[in-house]
């Protein structure tokens, strides 16, 4: 029997840049020929959603906008061209809602670089609603034995940090510094790094985040607010004092983007993932050249990265903490996030 799909649903809507979000009823959309309609059960709240509310970035969002891009749920309808996703399948709506699948970038597995990419919760409505549309080719295939609340943060945070770690080229046994380790991406990065055989230095601030990072597998923690010299302390945290082989920057402030190239080890790689408003990277030319250091950006992941990241999760290797709250309370999550008070990730329950 086909699932019942209501005409109206609850959603969190941004009417104007700067917010606040408004919890209200809006119509349920119908999927196009190559799209599916997913009944979102849970959605993670990523700092990107807050950047979108605040208009932090140079590309404008759609308005009014339903944010959210870590949505896990059940497929309830599909367009007539969709053959490989069934009604009742568990699926994830992620940041990359769709791409053209035929440009140079899409053909070579760089779908996030597609000029026609659709971005969930940014250029198209996202997952802070009960029913969300996505291109069938791009929805994440979620195995049925995986809980939909816990898997939600994997759909952006997990994919992104897993891809970033791969891009860093760090090999098992080597050391990686995760900067912003106490946040959503950072806490999950610690777990992927550990599962990939890496040794982790966590960098963030506060006792709660320090304890969480160590519990998740970081062998040491540098508190950037307490340290009088972060560069020295990070290098000092490695056995030979030469610094970590890779740095994963998932912080939401500019400062660490200006320090990482200094403390990364010669031949090491700095991966920039966090997107603080108006920020610039900085590196000393002399030490970067003579140290043969690499600085790279990394942006979500492709469909293959998605299935690999989900497989790590399915095998029980990723157990990052999350707290669940009703979707009606999303603004509270944004307020805590703005103050840097969230250790790990919040997940909203769309039914409350
Ligand atoms: P979050 O708010 O959960 O975590 C950010 C963490 O950074 C916090 O714990 C905060 O204390 C920490 N921090 C702040 N200043 C710091 C400093 N000086 N040194 C070390 N840590 C510091 O945010 P999140 O959801 O994990 O997202 C992090 C960033 O990643 C955001 O800018 C988001 O937009 C971006 N992002 C990028 C991609 C991508 O594909 N490149 C994907 C997802 C998210
Ligand atoms: Zn995100």
User: What domains sit in the chain, N to C, each tagged with a CATH number?
Assistant: 8-156+301-349 (3.90.180.10), 158-297 (3.40.50.720)
Average pLDDT over residues 243-257: 98
Convert 65-75 to b/e letters by CB count within 10 Å (16 or more is b).
Answer: bbbbbbbbbbb
Q: How many H helices and E strands in the chain?
A: 11, 18
- pLDDT confidence of residue 219: 98
- Is the pLDDT assigned to residue 148 strictly greater than 80? yes
Convert 96-116 to b/e letters by CB count within 10 Å (16 or more is b).
Answer: bbbbeeebebbeeeebbebee
**Predicted confidence band of residue 274 (pLDDT cuts 50, 70, 90):** very high
Q: Which two tokens stand for residue 78?
A: 């599909």
Average pLDDT over residues 178-189: 98
Average pLDDT over residues 278-285: 97
Query: In angstroms, what CA-CA distances link 233 with 221, 311, 336?
Result: 10, 35, 28
How far is Cα of residue 228 from the mean position of the Cα atoms in its chain?
A: 30
Residue 278, φ and ψ in degrees, nearest 5? 65, 20
**Predicted confidence band of residue 270 (pLDDT cuts 50, 70, 90):** very high
**Predicted confidence band of residue 39 (pLDDT cuts 50, 70, 90):** very high
Contact 27/118 with Cβ under 8 angstroms? no
- pLDDT confidence of residue 85: 97
Contact 133/29 with Cβ under 8 angstroms? yes
- Is the pLDDT assigned to residue 91 strictly greater than 80? yes
Q: Ligand 1 centre and the CA of 157: distance in Å?
A: 10
Nearest ligand by distance to the CA of 345: 1
To test the pocket of ligand 1, the residue of 210, 252, 281 to mutate (highest count of ligand atoms within 8 Å of its CB) is 252
Kindly state the percentage of the chain with pLDDT values over 90: 99
Q: Ligand 1 centre and the CA of 248: distance in Å?
A: 10
Q: Is the peptide bond before 20 cis (omega within 30 degrees of 0)?
A: yes
Handedness of CA 283, 287, 289, 293 (dihedral sign): negative
Question: CA nearest 31: which of 102, 155, 137, 119?
Answer: 137
**Predicted confidence band of residue 77 (pLDDT cuts 50, 70, 90):** very high
- pLDDT confidence of residue 320: 86
**Predicted confidence band of residue 63 (pLDDT cuts 50, 70, 90):** very high
Contact 102/60 with Cβ under 8 angstroms? no
Q: Is the peptide bond before 64 cis (omega within 30 degrees of 0)?
A: yes
- Is the pLDDT assigned to residue 31 strictly greater than 80? yes
Question: What are the pocket residues of ligand 1 if the criterion is a CB atom closer than 6 Å to any ligand atom?
Answer: 46-48, 51, 156, 160, 179-180, 182-186, 203-205, 224, 250-253, 255-256, 273-276, 298-300, 337, 340, 342
- pLDDT confidence of residue 329: 98
- Total-model pTM: 0.98
**Predicted confidence band of residue 2 (pLDDT cuts 50, 70, 90):** confident
């Amino acid at each position: 029997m086909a699932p019942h799909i209501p005409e109206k649903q609850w959603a969190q809507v941004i009417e104007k840049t700067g917010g606040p979000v408004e919890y209200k009823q809006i119509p349920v959309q119908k999927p196009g020929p190559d799209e599916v309609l997913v009944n979102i059960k849970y959605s993670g709240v990523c700092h990107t959603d807050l950047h979108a509310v605040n208009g932090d970035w140079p590309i404008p969002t759609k308005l009014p906008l339903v944010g959210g891009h870590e949505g896990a749920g059940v497929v309830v309808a599909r367009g007539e061209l969709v053959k490989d996703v069934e009604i009742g399948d568990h699926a994830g709506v992620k940041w990359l809602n769709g791409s053209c699948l035929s440009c140079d970038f899409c053909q070579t597995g760089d779908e996030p670089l597609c000029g026609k990419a659709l971005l969930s919760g940014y250029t198209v409505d996202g997952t802070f609603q009960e029913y969300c549309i996505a291109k069938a080719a791009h929805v994440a295939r979620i195995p049925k034995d995986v809980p939909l609340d816990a898997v939600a943060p994997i759909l952006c945070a997990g994919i992104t940090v897993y891809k970033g770690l791969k891009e860093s080229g760090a090999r098992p046994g080597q050391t990686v510094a995760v900067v912003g380790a106490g946040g959503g991406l950072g806490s999950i990065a610690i777990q992927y790094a550990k599962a990939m055989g890496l040794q982790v230095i966590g960098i963030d601030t506060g006792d709660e985040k320090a304890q969480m990072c160590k519990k998740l597998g970081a062998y040491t923690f540098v508190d950037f607010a307490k340290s009088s010299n972060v560069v020295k302390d990070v290098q000092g945290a490695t056995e030979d004092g030469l610094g970590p082989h890779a740095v994963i920057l998932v912080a939401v402030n500019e400062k660490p983007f200006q320090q990482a190239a200094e403390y990364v080890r010669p031949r090491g790689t700095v991966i920039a993932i966090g997107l603080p408003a108006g920020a610039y990277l900085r590196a000393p030319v002399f030490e970067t050249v003579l140290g043969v250091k690499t600085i790279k950006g990394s942006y979500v992941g492709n469909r293959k990265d998605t299935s690999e990241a989900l497989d790590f999760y399915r095998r029980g290797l990723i157990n990052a903490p999350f707290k669940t709250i009703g979707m009606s309370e999303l603004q509270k999550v944004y307020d805590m996030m703005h103050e840097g008070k969230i250790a790990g990730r919040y997940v909203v329950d769309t039914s409350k």
